[in-house]
Amino acid sequence: MDSRLLRQLPGVTDEAQSGRAQYLRRSLPELQRLERLIRKGEPALRWRVLAEVEDGPYSLPVYALELGSSHPAAPVLLLCGGIHGIERIGTQLLLAHLANLIHRLRWDTSLQQLLAGVRIVCCPLLNPVGMARGWRSNGNGVDLMRNAPVEADTPSHGLLAGHRLGRWLPWYRGESDRPMQEEAQSLCCLVREQIVRAPFSLALDCHSGFGMRDRVWFPYAGQARLLENAAELHALVQLFERSHPHHPYIFEPQYHQYCTHGDLWDYLYQQHRQHGGQPFLPLTLELGSWLWVKKNLRQLTSYTGLFNPLVPHRHQRTLRRHHLLLDFLLRALAAWDHWLPQGRQWHQHQRRAERRWAPKEAPE
Ligand SMILES: [Zn+2]
């Protein structure tokens, strides 16, 4: 149930509404901002509720938003955030980007033309209970990025790879032989439905908490091998690097850093491949949060400070810093048939991808 439905229902008192508003202000301002954006963005912005998850008396919607073409065969850019509740900056970054798009759509004719041919699908806050509580996991203590039914070939040592010891430890995968958590299932249904007929799709899932540099990761997280669309990915990265040579990112397969069970994007990518889908490049933006900690050691004293920039000017800078990448992905998506490699070019990109991202032993 979304807040508007809540307002319309008979018997939902003003007191209940103001209680929810207070709860959101205190624990989940990102959801309030998202609901304000929905009101501001209609009718160009389409929305629906994928799932409802409970935090005590409060029912929290998982929203999916759409901008641009509603044609099922349009190319799709999927934007995702808040899978790990503690990583609020990913959600905030997507909300800032959405606000930018909604505002520009009123006057920017080139953006209007661009979006007439492609679709942006955004799920900016997948784990609202986790975010409200300041947890990495969802409300059931499950790490949604370890919850998919895929096993790592050579998992990193320790709990980080994902485990089934118990929900009181981080990186808990959930019980074996049980369905995926509701939030994870919602994302899987959304991705499948949206990209099944698309001739080309891109995804960017926003996280934070690893390393000094901003990284763009891609499958596989659970196997030390290149993804099947390595040539297409190499062509995309080359396009970006030649267009923006001073960019801040490291592009690498996730297994170069660690190897994990249950990665949702590994699972979705493999599923899409098995069903004969067209090229799909699922990317993860991993914001280098250790740099914020290094520049402000007080961040070490709070859990949220390990994952989010706490100093206002650094927060603002982070919200600005990635528009270039998001804008590039949209433009590359719209022009996919101008650069996606075929024939001899495909083989050249494949060889370069193999040299650049050669599987190496995943660090333990
Ligand atoms: Zn994360």
pLDDT at 39: 96
Amino acid at 339: W
In the Cβ-directed half-sphere of 89, how many Cα atoms lie within 13 Å?
27
Alpha-carbon span 282 to 134, nearest angstrom: 26
- Domains of the chain in start order, with CATH, are 28-356 (3.40.630.10)
Q: If you measure from the C-alpha of residue 285 to the centroid of ligand 1, how many angstroms do you get, rounded to a whole number? A: 9
The Cβ of residue 318 has, within 10 Å, a number of other Cβ atoms equal to 21
| H-helix or E-strand spanning residue 283 | strand 280-287
Q: To the nearest 10°, the Cα dihedral for 259, 261, 262, 264?
A: 0
Q: If you measure from the C-alpha of residue 136 to the centroid of ligand 1, how many angstroms do you get, rounded to a whole number? A: 8
pLDDT at 300: 66
| Tokens, residue 357 | 């991202």
Alpha-carbon span 297 to 299, nearest angstrom: 5
Q: If you measure from the C-alpha of residue 137 to the centroid of ligand 1, how many angstroms do you get, rounded to a whole number? A: 10
Q: If you measure from the C-alpha of residue 86 to the centroid of ligand 1, how many angstroms do you get, rounded to a whole number? A: 8
Rounded to the nearest angstrom, the gap between the alpha carbon of residue 7 and the centroid of all alpha carbons in its chain is 30
pLDDT at 4: 46
| DSSP letter, residue 257 | T
Alpha-carbon span 219 to 228, nearest angstrom: 9
Q: Kindly list the distances between the CA atom of residue 154 and the CA atoms of 28, 146, 224, in Å, as whole numbers in the listed order.
A: 37, 15, 8
List per-residue pLDDT tens for the chain, 364 residues long.
444 444 444 455 777 778 889 999 999 999 999 999 999 999 999 999 999 999 999 999 999 999 999 999 999 999 999 999 999 999 999 999 999 999 999 999 999 999 999 999 999 999 999 999 999 999 999 999 999 999 999 888 889 999 999 999 999 999 998 999 999 999 999 999 999 999 999 999 999 987 778 999 999 999 999 999 999 999 999 999 999 999 999 999 999 998 999 999 999 999 999 998 899 999 999 997 667 667 776 666 677 777 777 778 888 888 888 999 999 999 999 999 999 999 999 999 999 999 999 877 655 5
| Tokens, residue 108 | 């920017």
Alpha-carbon span 201 to 319, nearest angstrom: 24
Q: If you measure from the C-alpha of residue 33 to the centroid of ligand 1, how many angstroms do you get, rounded to a whole number? A: 21
Q: If you measure from the C-alpha of residue 146 to the centroid of ligand 1, how many angstroms do you get, rounded to a whole number? A: 10
| Helix (H) and strand (E) counts in the chain | 14, 8
The Cβ of residue 347 has, within 10 Å, a number of other Cβ atoms equal to 12
pLDDT at 14: 75
In 3D, which of 115, 116, 335 has the Cα closest to residue 243? 335
Alpha-carbon span 265 to 272, nearest angstrom: 10
Q: If you measure from the C-alpha of residue 307 to the centroid of ligand 1, how many angstroms do you get, rounded to a whole number? A: 9
Alpha-carbon span 357 to 254, nearest angstrom: 10
Q: If you measure from the C-alpha of residue 217 to the centroid of ligand 1, how many angstroms do you get, rounded to a whole number? A: 12
Q: If you measure from the C-alpha of residue 186 to the centroid of ligand 1, how many angstroms do you get, rounded to a whole number? A: 18
Alpha-carbon span 292 to 285, nearest angstrom: 16
* 3-state SS class at 260: coil
